[in-house]
Structure 1
Amino acid sequence: MPDAAKNSPANAEAPRIVTACVVLIGDEILSGRTRDANLSYIAKHLNQIGIQVREARVIPDVEDTIVAVINEVRARHDYVFTTGGIGPTHDDITADAVAKAFGVAIGYNDEALAILDAHYKATGGEFTEARKRMARIPSGAALIANPISKAPGFQLGNVFVMAGVPMVMQVMLDSLTDRLEGGATMKSRTVSGQIGEGTIAEPLGALQKRHPDVVIGSYPYYRGRVFGTSLVMRGVDSAKLDEVAAEVAGLIRSFGVEPVEGEPV
């Protein structure tokens, strides 16, 4: 085959798509007592390294629920990230549930015990039986470092178990990033115009069907007495995004409205 043919777009390797699910564990989130701040941070962080969050679950501190959800989503995605339920109290049951999901034993991890023992000696705190619970790790799991409060998270298979406290979760996520293998990074384009969603809904739907590999979202906006719609296109192929953005701009222009690149001023 000639070199030109080998290098043609038709023979180019398709970008690898790597997906993830985030599982937010905690009755306090479902009750409204605690407002989640983790999902957005995780999704943005992962997208920067080519991992697309395709699903998120918010579930209670119920062992059977955690086990069922973990087993469901770890089979469907490349990576699963959980937050919450690894503290020292009786309702912190995530570690036990993940061990049960994988069918492995759980017990005190020598490395985790040493980390926590040193931490409490250095800070003058008592290393109580309750605090020792944070050193219970499923068999075969690798620890995730926690530079702030020292109690580690852990990785078992493609599941990464992290703290629910946002500041701690963030440093855990940073410390485990070198274990992750990304793929194609999701990119976006935005075109806005002073036109109602209902006006462009039908032709926009037809445009979406012509370009199934680009996700088009429609978001109405109001600026004082001015209203309009921002159309956000997301995909992994920059050239394709530019093509669809140009078609969207042409669609808006066909209704006598001048499109604006990006969000409305």
Structure 2
Amino acid sequence: MNPTACLLIIGNEVLSGRTRDANLQFLATRLGELGIPLREVRVIPDVPDTIISTVNEVRAKYDHVFTTGGIGPTHDDITSECIAAAFGVPWAVHEESRALMAADYARRDPPVEMNAARLRMATLPLGAVPIRSEITSAPGFTMGNVHVMAGVPRIMQAMFEVLAPTLVGGVPVVSRSVHAVGVFEGNIAEGLEAIQKRFPDLDIGSYPFYRPVPGATGFPGGGVALVSKGISLPDVEAATAEITEMLSRMGADPIQGEPS
């Protein structure tokens, strides 16, 4: 069986709606490509007890836990110290990271002070393995099966690409999609359920879309995208063929791929 993963999005700013999370889609896609399907996502606040208890719950349940957010230099960036508490280890300055950051800041024009706030970003759970990137000298880190990364999408993606080669995955998840304009879920529910039953190891999903047409009434631009996803390419393609045939029998014009 493929290893499984959970994502914890940490930050009051996400829960308040001030910041729109942009990391979930990237991580879900890349993990699927590595054969590590993302099975659960939670958005949790910057509250120590919540972070600690949630990390301990999900790291026992999944093969990999990924976190985003809360490893910056300000008082509300508490993810790192909470991971230390979850594992029951000290939260201590990681000397190699401190030296790399100090050297980086000293080279800048003008030089940047390695003050107490920035030192927080070089303070890691004892025994953690840093995740470095070309974008910043401040590291993410791996502790056990928990991988802690920045919340800023560009930095998170750079950290993940450094981490990815170290992850032991499984069979990559593949998907195929078919969409048809003028077809709605109520018309295909029974047929789609029958296809799902014939391919129980696949995830077959129905995703309606709506594209307004100027001057038209009702839902003239509406339709449905049907996606088959799994680790068996022959099964995925066979299910997609059955979906395409079902839509054709209804008089629709099924088109491979996502609606444009």
Calculate the TM-score normalised by the size of structure 2. 0.90
Pair 1:43 & 2:41 matched: no
Q: Which amino acid in the other structure matches residue 222 of structure 2?
A: F
Does structure 2 retain, via aligned residues, the 8 Å contact 1:80–1:160?
yes
Match of 2:78 in 1: 93
| C-alpha separation in 2, matches of 1:175 and 1:187 | 23
Q: Which amino acid in the other structure matches residue 261 of structure 1?
A: Q
Q: Which amino acid in the other structure matches residue 181 of structure 1?
A: V
Structure 2 residue corresponding to 1:203, chosen from 191, 194, 206: 191
- Equivalent position SS for 1:18: coil
Match of 1:213 in 2: 201
Structure 1 unmatched ranges of 5 or more: 1-15
| C-alpha separation in 1, matches of 2:179 and 2:135 | 43
Match of 1:3 in 2: none
Structure 2 unmatched ranges of 5 or more: 214-219
Q: Which moved more, 1:242-251 or 1:210-219?
A: 242-251
Does structure 2 retain, via aligned residues, the 8 Å contact 1:18–1:184?
no
Pair 1:244 & 2:231 matched: no
Match of 1:56 in 2: 41
Match of 1:106 in 2: 91
Structure 2 residue corresponding to 1:77, chosen from 62, 65, 83: 62
Structure 2 residue corresponding to 1:174, chosen from 161, 165, 168: 161
| C-alpha separation in 2, matches of 1:208 and 1:118 | 57
Structure 1 residue corresponding to 2:123, chosen from 108, 125, 136: 136
Does structure 2 retain, via aligned residues, the 8 Å contact 1:113–1:132?
yes
- RMSD between aligned alpha carbons? 1.7
The one-character-per-residue Cα deviations of 1:101-143 (angstroms, maximum 9, x if unpaired) are: 1111111111111112112221211111111111111111111
- Equivalent position SS for 1:147: coil
Q: Which amino acid in the other structure matches residue 37 of structure 1?
A: A
| C-alpha separation in 1, matches of 2:210 and 2:112 | 54
The one-character-per-residue Cα deviations of 1:160-200 (angstroms, maximum 9, x if unpaired) are: 11111112112111111221111111111112233221011
Q: CA deviation at 1:258?
A: 4.2
Identity of aligned residues (%): 50
